[in-house]
Chains A and B, each alone.
Chain A
Amino acid sequence: MESLRVINLGVETGGKKILENVNLYVKEGQTFILFGPNGSGKSSLLSTIIGHPNYKVFQGRITFRGEDITSLPTNERVRRGIGIAFQNPPKVSGVKLIDVLRYCARVAGMSEEDAEKKIEEYAKFMGMEDMLNRAVNDGFSGGEVKRSELLQLMLLNPDFVMLDEPDSGVDLENITIVGKAIKRILERDKPQEKRKKSGIVITHTGHILDYIDADYGVVLFNGRVSCIGDPYEILEHVSKYGYEACIKKCVERRDAQ
């Protein structure tokens, strides 16, 4: 079943075109890995899908389960089942992590009682019990930010999950927890036929692929999709030969077909 479709998408921010002719077709149960050099438009794509007001769609559209969501406000997209873990979320002074978790649980349709239980359980799982009463992201370390973002997603329980570099700046101790959490959020711990969740994960280093498996890899380059294929193959190529060589090979192969 169809989850998210990005159709011929063009996006500009601050008067500059940053994405053009982007097409993606993510089915239920599938996890995509998004590769690309800095500035290629990876984060911009996720921001556009979630509806960040600074990113204007000038062509194409985005659909979720067949519904056109291109002009919906962010919270409406979230209510329909799309969730995102940001790479660099802002601190919101005075708004505690536990407050945000309660909002997430409410949006997910949990009763107050269930919410408190789940918050406790998941916070423990993520090693965040001591952070619950801190203002969200205020003075959090790199690893804490990642864990907090994932904890929020665990409560929000989205059907389509977007993770922006969940493995960057995360030390060895944290990466195991982060990996476990992502596996759970994306249902990669379930057999293929039972998976309902789908998503896109941005990774620079590919570290996260040691903890979760993925179905497809996509390379964004200069705001366009240059390559779609096996994520492990792409990662190996990129780390050996760099992005340009990887894309060249991709194009050659495509031309040969």
Chain B
Amino acid sequence: MSPENVEKDVAERAKEVGVEFDSSRRAASFLQVDQETVFSYGWLEGVEVMSIREAMEKYGWVKDYMWKIVKKSEDYDDFNGYFIRALPNCKIEIPVEACLYLKRVRTQKVYNLVIAEEGSELNIISGCTSHPGSAGMHLGVSEFYVKKGAKLTFTMIHNWDPDVEVKPRSGAIVEEGGVLISNYVLLSPVKYVKSYPTAYLHRGARGSFTSLVVAYEGSTIDIGNKAVLKEDSSADVISRAISRGGRIVSRGHICGEGKGCRGHLECRGLMLSEKGSILAIPELEARHPEVNLSHEAAVGKIAEEEIFYLMARGLSRDEATSAIIRGFLDVEIKGLPEFLKKEIDRAIEMVGEDLM
């Protein structure tokens, strides 16, 4: 099957997580439904996209990368997922898209491997979603390798159903002078999500980890990022969490190991309902005297003064509230390409009304 004739209902859901199957707007496209690869298409030179099963057959060295950052659990077999690799010094500006679609199985087991080779530049939109009305579990392991001087922007958008449980485990290694910009967006109802990826940033590397989540009634979301910083590296861990009646645990952990590293944690939560909870856990850990680590955390409801202020500019109470919520989620992500920002904006735009 080719990307142009994906089933209509799959295509519609995929679009909500930023996956368009449009060769004019994407460098490559990958679709997996349950455990099966539906297609992998590359439209541009310099980037390889295929299923991890195919990659393991094609390249003997692939196994040298697997399970090096994330520990393999014993029963984790029969997985499928994507393999995306930017070749050395190839700068792929147009994003590569990948969609993991949960349809019939009880448990979808995913393993993804992303490699940005030396000096390359790669942008990925990874959308995970489920068939309307489905119930099941999405287990996803992802390992990211950003080689010397490479830059990887990875934006994961999740859109699940209220009965789906999601337990991704991810890890990243960013080599000298590399850049990793990782964004996670979850704005739909879901039963349970637990995700706590760890990134290791080597000398002079830079990382930016942003998560935007909304928890509806019945959702439990336990997410966060951990960054381990070597010499002269830096990381920003930013989270915006909104509870619309659901439970959120928002974690962040920066560990400064190397001289001259810098890390900042920013954790903000918004309570839109009397039900639900937000627990913010920012952690800073210094393992060298010459580190610069800081954090700020704030959790609360929308200030009446802010609503009144916008009403004094003619907005109704609902319009003002919606504008403030959208503003809350509108995080300035440094280095994020414009088209990726648009995808995130679109997701936020869609949720603005739902939250009212």
Contact = CB atoms under 8 A, between A and B. Distances in A.
Given A73-B317, A75-B316, A99-B323, A94 B311 contact: no
Nearest to B328: A94
Contact of B314 (A92, A95, A156): A156
A94 B316 contact: no
B310 A78 contact: no
A242 interface: no
Nearest to A50: B312
Interface stretch (B21-29, B127-135, B301-309): B301-309
B286 interface: no
A111 interface: no
B315 A103 contact: yes
B312 A78 contact: yes
A165 to B, nearest CB: 16
A152 to B, nearest CB: 6
B268 to A, nearest CB: 8
Contact of B310 (A73, A92, A106, A135): A92
A92 B305 CA distance: 9
Contacts of A96: 327
Main secondary structure of the interface of B (DSSP, over half): helix
A207 to B, nearest CB: 24
Interface string A68-112: 000001110011000110100110111110011001101100000
A106 B316 CA distance: 13
B309 A78 contact: no
What range describes how many residues of A lie at the interface? 20 to 34
B313 A93 contact: no
Given A53-B304, A95-B323, A95-B324, A90 B309 contact: yes
B5 to A, nearest CB: 37
What range describes how many residues of B lie at the interface? 20 to 34
Given A99-B323, A135-B327, A92 B306 contact: yes
A90 B305 contact: yes
Interface string B284-307: 000000000000000000011110
A92 B270 CA distance: 13
Given A53-B304, A86-B309, A90-B305, A75 B327 contact: no
A75 B306 contact: no
B349 interface: no
A52 interface: yes
B310 A103 contact: yes
Contacts of A95: 310, 323-324, 327
7 contacts: A78-B314, A92-B324, A92-B327, A94-B329, A104-B314, A106-B314, A152-B313
Nearest first, the 8 A-B pairs at minimum CB distance are A94-B327, A107-B314, A95-B327, A74-B311, A78-B314, A90-B305, A75-B311, A92-B306
